[in-house]
Structure 1
């Protein structure tokens, strides 16, 4: 529900949102961001086991384990954003009702409250750093181990194949984590920059990874490429209908 509001705000100049809807949007922004962080963690785990422990891969990451890990990520991600909303909703908001942002988030909303923001900002920072730095620490460890394992591969073709499967994930991870960590840390460290720059940075990690994820992970799979090419060829060069005339 974030992207439609951004489109309506910039294209149709309708940048208003109700008080309750703003908090609903804040919940989904932080909830889906948390889920995305956990999913990137699971993707790094998949690459780590596949390259560093290939013989254990069918046992460790069998379908049932993947389903359990995925469902767990979606469930436990609810707690933190829900806590942020419950603590921020009843605050007295007697300041401006204009959020200098393109969507509602915890920082943008709580800065409008007429109370000391520190008791609310610290738990939010701890939550954000846990969600970001926890998976990021394992991701850095896993890709360091992957690079070491790839260097030890004697076959040059095997090294290229292993790196190609991991490089795209590393690009997505960098686009998501680096700008996000910078925004959170800069805000709490007192680093000032214009709101336009802040919005651009947030759009980088909010929109670009979801946009290029389907392209990367669908087109890299051989069966997906072949299926897509068949669909495209079928649309461009439709088969001629064969009509059989029955002579009387």
Structure 2
């Protein structure tokens, strides 16, 4: 269809959280702003530690580096707009900008899923095939795989945008969501949505269930391999090396799988509940992932501790030098 068919709609209106009482909008925007600041602070701290400590230049931390970058970009694409909507009462977004946001929402979600796949692959090889680990997953290979993930993830979201952009949008321009996504936009098109919904569903299942299938396989193999270790202390140590990744993966996949399964077995959510669930599983993991890294990963804790020590020790040395 020609692009002119959508000329009746020049902008969309994001509702944010539908039904939110105006007296709570200030509180909600403050919470979202805090989430955004904590997400940026935590993930930038991880990037800084990686850049200043060569001891973190290991395959696992290269994967975490990609995950932090993806989390920063996703939060930056989604949160500022909804925060400004509540602060300045400007929920409008231009036609093109909405599709740009839609592309990055789906693109970064795809990258996130593929990076979690690499995270599971790292632990699978490390525990089930430890002798092959230095060869199979050396830093250069992880870098190539990470770059490949960022490139591969572009294709499907781009096709979704190309198919959805020319549709005729000639009725309502109100999107009941906090950001532009494929479902929110295409439901406003003045055509039968079914031909466009099926490719989007296939894309979502491929991005979500493909990596998840390998993740389930890899951690099942890890558990079996760990149970074969005779030494109890060895079993605990092996499990602790993948506990961080398992927590992060669970935070990403479990809520998404719950939403997809619930909709397929007939459990209905109101639009308000659905949006809250989506916002929780989209924004909370990027905020708390850095905390999990620092608390669970020994190398990360030590690097963070060294950064604090380098700032406090010189001050103490200067005070002692003056006193002498």
Displacement of 1:7 in angstroms is 1.9
Displacement of 1:238 in angstroms is 6.5
Q: Is the 8 A contact 2:124 2:218 kept in 1?
A: yes
Tell me which of 104, 111, 118 is aligned to 1:28.
104
Seen in structure 2, the aligned counterparts of structure 1 residues 41 and 240 have a Cα distance that, compared at 3 Å, is: closer
Seen in structure 2, the aligned counterparts of structure 1 residues 62 and 232 have a Cα distance that, compared at 3 Å, is: closer
Displacement of 1:181 in angstroms is 3.1
Displacement of 1:13 in angstroms is 3.1
TM-score by length of 2: 0.70
CA–CA distance in structure 2, aligned partners of residues 134 and 189 of structure 1? 21
Aligned length: 248
Q: Deviations over 1:40-86 (max 9, x none)?
A: 00000000000111111111111221111111100010000000000
Seen in structure 2, the aligned counterparts of structure 1 residues 91 and 161 have a Cα distance that, compared at 3 Å, is: same
CA–CA distance in structure 2, aligned partners of residues 169 and 141 of structure 1? 15
2:210 paired residue number = 134
**3-state SS, counterpart of residue 131 of structure 2:** helix
CA–CA distance in structure 2, aligned partners of residues 180 and 240 of structure 1? 50
Q: Is the deviation greater in 212-221 or in 184-193? A: 184-193
Seen in structure 2, the aligned counterparts of structure 1 residues 122 and 241 have a Cα distance that, compared at 3 Å, is: same
The gaps in structure 1 that reach 5 residues or longer are none
Displacement of 1:234 in angstroms is 5.8
Seen in structure 2, the aligned counterparts of structure 1 residues 186 and 26 have a Cα distance that, compared at 3 Å, is: farther
Q: Deviations over 1:125-150 (max 9, x none)?
A: 00110111110000000010111111
Tell me which of 131, 140, 143 is aligned to 1:55.
131
Q: Deviations over 1:61-120 (max 9, x none)?
A: 112211111111000100000000000001111221111100000000000111000000
TM-score by length of 1: 0.90
Q: Is the deviation greater in 25-34 or in 229-238? A: 229-238
CA–CA distance in structure 1, aligned partners of residues 251 and 218 of structure 2? 18
CA–CA distance in structure 2, aligned partners of residues 243 and 159 of structure 1? 48
Q: 2:298 aligned with 1:222, yes or no?
A: yes
Seen in structure 2, the aligned counterparts of structure 1 residues 239 and 80 have a Cα distance that, compared at 3 Å, is: same
Seen in structure 2, the aligned counterparts of structure 1 residues 242 and 20 have a Cα distance that, compared at 3 Å, is: same
Query: Relative contact order: is structure 1 or structure 2 higher (C-alpha 8 Å, sep ≥ 6)?
Result: 2
1:116 paired residue number = 192
CA–CA distance in structure 1, aligned partners of residues 280 and 196 of structure 2? 26
Seen in structure 2, the aligned counterparts of structure 1 residues 244 and 225 have a Cα distance that, compared at 3 Å, is: closer
Q: Is the 8 A contact 1:175 1:204 kept in 2?
A: no
